[in-house]
Amino acid sequence: MIKRRDRGDGGIDRRGENSWRLRYRVKGKRISQTFHGPLSDARKELRRLLKSGDDGTHVAPDKITLAQWVEQWIATGAPGRRQKKVGRRTLHRYAELLRYHVVPTLGARPLQQIQATEIDTLYVCLDGKIAPRTCRHVHDVLNACLGTAVRKGLLAVSPMERVTTVPSPPESDHGMALDQDQLRILVEGFRDSVLFPIVALATFTGARRSEILALRWSDLDIENKTLRIERAVEEVELQPLAIKGPKTERGKRTITLDGDLVALLRAEREKHLRIVARCARWCDGRSFAREAAE
């Protein structure tokens, strides 16, 4: 039995396994909604609802539009069934898919009134305007967005469960692999370029571009001829670059290098250290001259 709170604090009633009824008041009006999840999360949601009522940002569950819910979902990190936030780049992509392809058509509709037939019509309209794979991504992201609305009690059932046709992506493009001679020609073509070390490293290790750009000299073990991959650069439009870890622990790995690649990286490291040393002397010289002038 959940302990009842004071009238102004709302209350929580158990409705089933990990299912709760949240009761609260906004401007004297009694409101209740269902929440699916552990009790600790239900308490957090109730506190959020009470705060939104206090600061004037509360929207009644039966009044919220799809566009408003999309923005709430994105603002909270687009959590899925596992209630985990996604990475910045993934979040940016989710926002693009919903804001560009769903909200213009269905955004003004009340969330609780959206029908599966309307989503079917949306898919028909998108057919031929965007790639089949993009249309499938729209479906997957919208499904996750509405699924979270169900878990938060804003929807009893997701209309996605009654959609007639689910967009299917075409067969994956596996790309084209180069043979040894083609690979050698590719690498040699960058021999006189500043990109040569990066191309050589990518060719030999198979590491992703974002992983290579996030490497540090401390990841290189010259004595044991190994390179440790532990992070990647995350690039999101109109946002500063950031460093992130791999999605799973399996993404962290140690790669064994051959002698030629170790020699190349050793030379690059020595070049880097010389540049750093010259910059340090230049900065110290300017500081000394400024102190003397003063």
Listed by start position, the domains of the chain span: 7-54, 66-162, 180-282
pLDDT above 60 for 257: yes
143-196 pLDDT, tens digit per residue, is 999 999 888 878 878 999 999 988 887 666 666 778 888 888 989 999 989 899
Predicted structure pTM score: 0.64
H helices of 19-158, in order, are 39-54, 66-75, 88-101, 103-106, 116-126, 132-151
Q: Which of the listed CATH numbers 1.10.10.10, 2.60.40.1180, 1.10.150.130, 1.25.40.80 matches domain 66-162?
A: 1.10.150.130
How far is Cα 199 from Cα 187, in angstroms, rounded to an integer?
Answer: 7
How far is Cα 100 from Cα 122, in angstroms, rounded to an integer?
Answer: 12
Please give the average per-residue pLDDT across 270-294, as a whole number.
69
Among 22-31, 73-82, 90-99, 284-293, name the one with the lowest average pLDDT: 284-293
How much is the pLDDT for 17? 82
pLDDT above 50 for 294: no
- Give buried/exposed letters for 183-200 (b at 16+ CB in 10 A, else e): eeeeeeeeeeeeebbbbb
How much is the pLDDT for 21? 82
117-127 pLDDT, tens digit per residue, is 999 999 999 99
pLDDT above 80 for 4: no
Edge-to-edge order in the sheet of strand 29-36? 11-16, 19-26, 29-36
Residues 77, 69 contacting (CB under 8 angstroms) = no
How much is the pLDDT for 56? 65
Residue entry with tokens 């408003």: 68
How much is the pLDDT for 51? 81
69-108 pLDDT, tens digit per residue, is 999 999 989 988 777 788 888 899 999 999 999 999 999 9
pLDDT class of 5 with cuts at 50, 70, 90: very low
How much is the pLDDT for 162? 92
Q: Would you state the CATH architecture of domain 180-282?
A: Orthogonal Bundle (1.10)
pLDDT class of 292 with cuts at 50, 70, 90: very low
